[in-house]
Every structure is written in structure tokens, then in C-alpha cells.
Structure 1
Amino acid sequence: MKKMLIVFLIFAFSLSAKEVPSSGEMMFDLIPIRPLGLAALAIGSGFFVLSIPIGLLSADPRQTLEQSARRLVIYPLHFTFQRPVGEFYGYMEEIEYVSD
């Protein structure tokens, strides 16, 4: 009985290993990638401000502006400031947003 319990606990609480980024990946992220993300955020914010009048003329302005804000502002914001240093996930993968 004890052996069965031990085997069950081993498989029930299996550990998942997370890959730790190397120092080279972290430096590559900090020096060229984060400043480029900041530039993308600034440019995307500018384009979003310019697209507001056009979005207000669309059939569903709320959805259009939310989608524009998500693509032009929110994704670069998360990529630049909320992503762990050295971790490069795929474009728009692993990002979950709760919409009201």
C-alpha cells in the first residue's frame, strides 16, 4: 500500500522544468530588443492616435478601437515591459487578456 501511495504521489506532483535563459540571451534582450520594443510602442501609440478618427467612423467603433489599441499599443507594451528578460515567446503567444 505504501509503495502505491508513493508512486501515486510521484506522478501526481511531477515537476516541470522551466528553461532558464542564458546570459547571452539576456544581454541580447536588454541591449537591442528592449529599446526596439520601446520604439515600437512609441510608433504604435502615434499610429493609434492617428487612427482614432477613422475608427470612430466605422460600423462598430468600440470593437475597432479595442482591436487597434491591442495591436498597436498593448502588445508592444507587454513585450517591452512585462516579458521576463531573455524569454522570447512567439508573437502574441502566451499572452492572455481578459476582456469585459
Structure 2
Amino acid sequence: MNLFRTSAAVLALTTGLLALPAHAEVVQENVSGDPMYTANAPAGYRMVGDILIARPMLLAATVIGTGLFIISLPFSALGGNVGEAAQELVVVPAKETFVRCLGCAVSGYRAD
């Protein structure tokens, strides 16, 4: 009986959490009428997901990319593309980790 109650509780909580983003999108309104307001103001569930899932993964990608850059440095130096390797392996993940706003899908920083 205890296994049944535990399974039912887990199923109910999982279903509720999966329905939360759909419900949050319906409730959110653009009061100002400005389309940039909704683009620059992410919902709370996106912020929570960003801080709990995306940022730790991006930090790990930055650390792993830095290690790979150090390992590949002699080869990229011989090939003459140290700048490109540093940009793609270290700088891009670091910018997404530390510069992008919390919950935003696109970084506000442009390297044009």
C-alpha cells in the first residue's frame, strides 16, 4: 500500500510540474503592449530552470572547454587559429554563463 501511495504522489507531482509552464504562459500578459517587454522579462519558471539546470551545465562547459583549449593549444598554434579556438571553446560558453540575463534565451552581449 505504501508503494502505491508513493507512486501516486510522484505521478501527481510530475504531472503538475509538467503542466506548470503551459499554465504560466497562459497567465502571463503583456500589460504595456510593448513586444520587447515580454522578450526581456522572462517568466519565473524559466529563471528557476536557468539557475538550477542551464547555468551549472554552462559552467561545466566553460571548464571543459578551457581544458580542451589548453590541450589543443599546441595544435591550434601550429594551425594559426588560437584566437578562433579560444573564442569557441572558452569565451562563448563563458559569456552564456556569466553575461546572459537570468532566464533569457539569447545573450544580450554581441561580439560583432
TM-score (norm 2): 0.63
**1:83 corresponds to 2:100:** yes
Letter in 1 for 2:44: S
Deviations 1:49-77, CA, capped at 9 Å, x for gaps: 0111001212xx2xx11100110000000
**Aligned residues between the structures:** 77
Give the corresponding residue for 2:63: 42
Letter in 2 for 1:81: F
Point out which structure has higher relative CO (alpha carbons under 8 A, 6+ apart): 1
**1:69 corresponds to 2:86:** yes
C-alpha root-mean-square deviation of aligned residues, in Å? 1.8
Q: Which has the larger share of helix?
A: 2
Runs (4+) of structure 1 exceeding 4 A deviation are none
Aligned with 1:18 (options 37, 55, 61) = 37
How far apart, CA to CA, are the structure 1 residues paired with 2:56 and 2:108? 22
TM-score (norm 1): 0.70
Letter in 2 for 1:82: V
Deviations 1:18-53, CA, capped at 9 Å, x for gaps: 221111000000001100000000000000001110
Using the aligned pairs only, state the percent identity.
30
How far apart, CA to CA, are the structure 2 residues paired with 1:87 and 1:17? 12
